[in-house]
Structure 1
Amino acid sequence: MKIYINQDELDFSFENEKTLGDIYKSIEQWMAPQGFSISEVIINNKEVFLNKKEDWYDKPFTGSEEIRIMALSFLELKADNIKTLLSYTGMVQKALKEGNLTVLNELLEEYSYIKDSYKLLLDDSGNAIKNHMDMLLETNSFIPEGERSEQNVISVLEGFIMLEAVIQGRLDEITTPFKAGKDTYDSIQTMLPQMEEVSLMLQTGKDKDAMEIIIRFSELFQKLLRIYTNIPEEKISEHRDEIKKFISEMSGILNELAEAFSTEDSVLMGDLMEYEIMPRMEKFPRFFETFVNKGD
């Protein structure tokens, strides 16, 4: 038996494996701690489909097979799946613009599977993206299908254009992390003078302006944290331990800020910005200057 992973022959010993599924599972478990996942399997020059394991998983393992496996890192696999989302939104937009109801309805039949991927692929932990798109499609008579006006079509098209921008942003965080990180870093740096005024704004009745700054800062900082976790540690050696501590502290504070925001506790929001966030942001340039001079 010969096993290849990404064209390299693997010296792997099997003991109690009796089926092709057992072999697959053993290799999958061996690869996972190394940060890789199986993306394609070819057995005896014939591709077997990972989404149709019932066709091959329980077949006996004879020991004479040649198994070729294509493996991707978890980040590469995530990027590939995000590209699939991007392609889907493009097809929906095309069908909407062309008024192709047959294609559009076929795509919308798949939407329940698409939206379930937002949490993992777009870091939509609070379901904000999913809930927004659900409401948009429902109120404009797309899901479930109903009578649609021209304005309904325009509204949904605009929604998918905005969704596409979000998806592209998430993809850029993975494929060009240093550029995306520098852009985000620069945006936060530009915001610092405004952030210093938030506490005063909340005390002088300018709650709306203060809220906009808080929301924008939270979004940018969460984006920067996502990007940072996408970069291998060996590529960012400066201040590594300090950054980990900084990220842990800021993540906890941002969670408190989000809770204060949801309960409209302006006093707590002001205190968090003035006494917790701003003092830590003084360290921010030194910690994240890595992004400024690096390239993808």
Structure 2
Amino acid sequence: MEIFVNDQKLESAFENEKNLGEVFDAVGRWVESNGKFLLSCLVDGEEFQAGTMRDSSIAQANKMEFYVGEELDILISSLHELDSYVDKVGTTLLGRDSLTEKETKELTDGMYWIKTLLESAGKLLKLKYDQIKPMGTGSTVEEIMEALQSKAGKLDGTTAIEEFLEYLRDMKLFVMDLVARASVLDLDLPILREILDTFIKAVPALKESFVKVNESYQSGKDEVATHLLTQSVSQINVLLTSFITLRQKLPGMDFSKIQIAERTFEEKTNDLNDTLASVALALEEKDIIRAGDIIEYEIPAVLDELLPYLEKVKEQADSLAV
């Protein structure tokens, strides 16, 4: 069997792989190790279907073609496609009590595609899915993906579908955040400066939005609170991701040299991440009072403490960009 990557024949031989699924996984690992991402795979001209092709012998196929993303904008485009796909699945399942055999197969393959795309995105963005908890439940992205994959083929009855939709909603929240993070990586210096300036100016409004999140939780409007919280946290994630891009655009950026009262910038960003993680933990434990206190009081306090560091980051970036 011949293997092609972006229309180039792969000369390396696969010795241990016996079926198409093993070849797919091996190429996927190679793609990730090179900091790229897998977009699609064709087997003799047909889209690779994990449900039906995975266990097929290599001898049954003549050619596997892999298409790998070389540019960040391809990843961003794929993430937008993923976002639309999640919406489509949610709309299709809403109000249903069962799926046809064809729909079940398509959904199962779709969940596998999501997993593959997220793995590639995670490698590029250096994300640890076993530690990221989208707001909504206490499940990590890794746990959400595992649940979606395991449940996709067993949607018999409204209860099963509603449970699947709960996980899908959490995935939607994460995908929205992921699109924002990925988009920042492709920005140029002027726009990165603008993000930094805008965030500094928007901190008072952002603090107020966290107060509204707590008010919504305390009044029983959990869905509204989750939506507001996701939007607010997404703004913070965009900022944090912009620091990665700044360091790539300006190799001289050294965040370890930014200190105030013997506390480094990296320590302060870790404080912010830890505080956000504590919100997720409190929500997981259904401790709304504790989560509300963190959201309304601790997060704004950490943001206030971070502001002077952001000013210093801006100063250092400006000096290096001259």
TM-score bracket relative to the smaller structure: 0.5 to 0.7
Structure 1 CA distance, aligned partners of 2:49 and 2:270?
39
User: TM-score under structure 2 normalisation?
Assistant: 0.50
Q: Return 239-248 or 27-36, whichever deviates more.
A: 239-248
Kindly tell me: are residues 283 and 170 of structure 1, through their superposed partners in 2, closer, same or farther at Cα, counting changes over 3 Å? same
Q: Sequence identity of aligned pairs in percent?
A: 14
| Distance (Å, rounded) in 2 between the aligned partners of 1:250 and 1:108 | 49
Q: Which among 179, 187, 206 is matched to residue 171 of structure 1?
A: 179
* Shift in alpha-carbon separation, 1:168–1:2, aligned structure 2, 3 A: same
Stretches of structure 2 lacking an aligned partner (at least 5 in a row): 139-156, 160-168, 214-228, 280-289
Q: Which amino acid aligns with 2:26?
A: S
SS of equivalent to 1:86: helix
What RMSD over aligned residues (CA atoms) do the two structures have, in Å?
Answer: 5.5
Contact 1:6–1:69 (CA<8 Å) still a contact in 2? yes
Q: Please point out which of 301, 304, 310 is paired with 1:281.
A: 310
Partner of 1:36: 36
For 1:105, the aligned partner's letter is: G
Q: Paired residue for 1:50?
A: 49
Matching of residues 209-228 of structure 1 within 5 Å: 211=211, 220-228=235-243
Deviations 1:9-41 (A, max 9, x none): 222123233333333333222222112343322
Cα pair distance change 1:74/1:167, threshold 3 Å: same
Gapped regions of structure 1 (runs ≥ 5): 96-101, 132-142, 146-159, 199-207
AA matched with 2:266: S
SS in 2 for 1:250: helix
Of 95, 99, 109 in structure 2, the residue corresponding to residue 105 of structure 1 is 95
Aligned to 1:14, the other structure's residue is in SS state coil
Contact 2:38 2:68 in 1 (8 A): yes
Letter in 2 for 1:282: E
108 and 74 in structure 1: CA distance in 2 versus 1, 3 angstrom threshold: farther
Amino acid paired to 1:61? A
1:224 maps to amino acid: L
The superposition leaves residues 53-81 of structure 1 with CA deviations (integer Å, 9 ceiling, x where unpaired) of x335331438x833321123696457524
Read off the aligned partner of 1:8 and give its amino acid letter: Q
1:128 aligns with 2:128: no
Higher radius of gyration, 1 or 2: 1
Q: Which letter does structure 1 place at the counterpart of 2:179?
A: L
8 Å contact kept, 2:4–2:10: yes
Please show how residues 130-209 of structure 1 align to structure 2 within 5 Å: 170-175=178-183, 177-178=186-187, 181-191=192-202, 194=204
Cα separation, 1, equivalents of 2:77 and 2:5: 20
Q: Would you say the 8 A contact 1:48–1:56 is kept in 2? A: no
Q: What is the rounded CA distance, in whole Å, between the counterparts of 2:55 and 2:71 in structure 1?
A: 23
Per the TM alignment, residue 217 of structure 1 is displaced from its structure 2 partner at its CA by 7.9
| Contact persistence 2:7–2:65 (CA under 8 A) | yes
Whether contact under 8 Å (2:40, 2:68) holds in the other structure is: yes
Quote the offset at 1:254 in angstroms: 0.9
CA contact (8 A) 1:17 1:61 kept: no
Deviation at 1:240, TM superposition (A): 5.0
Q: Which residue of 67, 70, 82 maps to 1:70? A: 67
Give yes or no for contact 2:246–2:253 (8 Å, CA) kept in 1.
no
Q: Give the secondary-structure state (helix, strand or coil) at the position aligned to 1:282.
A: helix
Residue type of the partner of 2:238? K
State the TM-score, normalized to the length of structure 1.
Answer: 0.53
The answer on whether the counterparts of 1:90 and 1:164 sit within 8 Å (CA) in structure 2 is no
**Distance in 2, Cα, partners of 1:77 & 1:65:** 29
Counterparts of 2:54 and 2:275, CA distance in 1:
51
